[in-house]
Amino acid sequence: MTTNILKPKDPLAIASELLDILNHGALSLMISIGHRTQLFDVMANLPPSTSDTIAEAAGLNERYVREWLGAMVMGGIITYHPNDRTYELPSEYAAFLTRQATPNNMAVAMQFIPVLAQVEDEIIRCFQQGGGLPYTAYPRFHEVMAEDSGQSVVAVLDEGILPLVPRLTANLSEGITVLDVGCGGGKAITKLAQLYPRSQFVGVDVSEEAIALAKSHTEALGLHNLTFEVQDAANLNFQQPFDLITAFDAIHDQAYPDQVLKNIYENLKDQGIFLMQDIRASRDVHQNLDHPARTFLYTVSCLHCMSVSLANNGAGLGTVWGEETALEMLQDVGFQDISVKQLPHDPMNNFYIVQKNTD
Ligand SMILES: C[S@@+](CC[C@H](N)C(=O)[O-])C[C@H]1O[C@@H](n2cnc3c(N)ncnc32)[C@H](O)[C@@H]1O
């Protein structure tokens, strides 16, 4: 079996394809800049405008804005009207590139490209010498992750994710205890605490930076049913077991995922539920050839998820550990009742609904 996607072997076509890759790589970086500078949001509210007008409306330097606009026009995202030298963000693109478009704002994920590129030198050293990089090596990681989670988890939590678990919303309304492992910036658990005031919520993360970010997000909300703690999930320390434990995109990059899953099992009440969101892919490379985010997944793994685990002499499972490995590892710690569900329009994630049965 060959694992190559069939492509024309004509040298000119190959060169042209590689040039396209160069252009697209450059464009992803410029889309990230457009998001961070709010240029897309500003342009979505302007009629076709000159670079001067756009720069002024965004409070940015015109010369830089004009060069960015050039890249966007070349990338086919922004339309240029040469007669009056105006630029326009078509509504079809605004629907995927503005904050108003949340949860469909794809500019959010583009930020991972520059976040990852920042560690290129260190990762090359890892290629040569092994080892990995700690979370602290990635400026803005937790901030971008929290923004991404705001779209991929929080926006679909109430109407999409929670109903995947039978009776869960009813139980949350009545009042249960919930732990979120690897909560990062805490957006998901905060949303849950807001929605279900009778339940008690705790978010833990090993990163002090992530917990500080989570606390800063929630301070103004004055929630009395939510706390955050810096804790290593490989050494979870709670007096009482929980009714529900969640892990959103937080198991595959663990240094000791087997230990973390064992701790989750032990910190669940009998009949308690573990809800694990993790990457929907196979551990076999050739099974992922049609995955819509295939190259991105292996890249983010190599430059981040696998590396942060290896930094602690960990398992280095990587982003593409696969449904097969996930199921085996859940079963190894004693979970027997596992179902895997998906949400329509979310090709990236599996939702593992795991019940602890001790009989
Ligand atoms: C990919 S991020 C996901 C964060 C968050 N759940 C979200 O969806 O935005 C993984 C998180 O797991 C945390 N983490 C990694 N190892 C951990 C450990 N041993 N104990 C607790 N948290 C850990 C990281 O600090 C990071 O915030």
Segment 252-302, tens digit of pLDDT: 999 999 999 999 999 999 999 999 999 999 999 999 999 999 999 999 999
HSE, side-chain direction, 13 A CA sphere, residue 327: 13
Mean pLDDT of 45-66: 98
Distance 331 CA to ligand 1 centre (A): 22
pLDDT the model gives residue 237:
87
Segment 109-128, tens digit of pLDDT: 999 999 999 999 999 999 99
pLDDT the model gives residue 8:
61
pLDDT above 60: residue 2: no
- Homologous superfamily of domain range 116-355: Vaccinia Virus protein VP39 (3.40.50.150)
Segment 139-182, tens digit of pLDDT: 999 999 999 999 889 999 999 999 999 999 999 999 999 999 99
- If one counts every other C-beta atom within 10 angstroms of the C-beta of residue 246, the result is 26
Distance 180 CA to ligand 1 centre (A): 10
pTM for the predicted model, two decimal places: 0.93
Distance 205 CA to ligand 1 centre (A): 6
Segment 215-262, tens digit of pLDDT: 998 988 999 999 999 999 999 989 999 999 999 999 999 999 999 999
Nearest residue to 202 (alpha-carbon basis) of 213, 219, 214, 217: 214
Which backbone phi and psi does 75 adopt, to 5 degrees?
Answer: -80, -5
Distance 238 CA to ligand 1 centre (A): 18
Query: Please, what CATH class does the domain formed by 11-107 belong to?
Result: mainly alpha
Q: For the chain, what are the domain ranges? A: 11-107, 116-355
Segment 66-92, tens digit of pLDDT: 999 999 999 999 999 999 999 999 999
Ligand 1 residue neighbourhood (C-beta within 6 Å): 135, 145-146, 149, 153, 182-185, 204-207, 210, 232-234, 248-250, 253-254
Residues 311/134, Cβ–Cβ less than 8 Å: yes
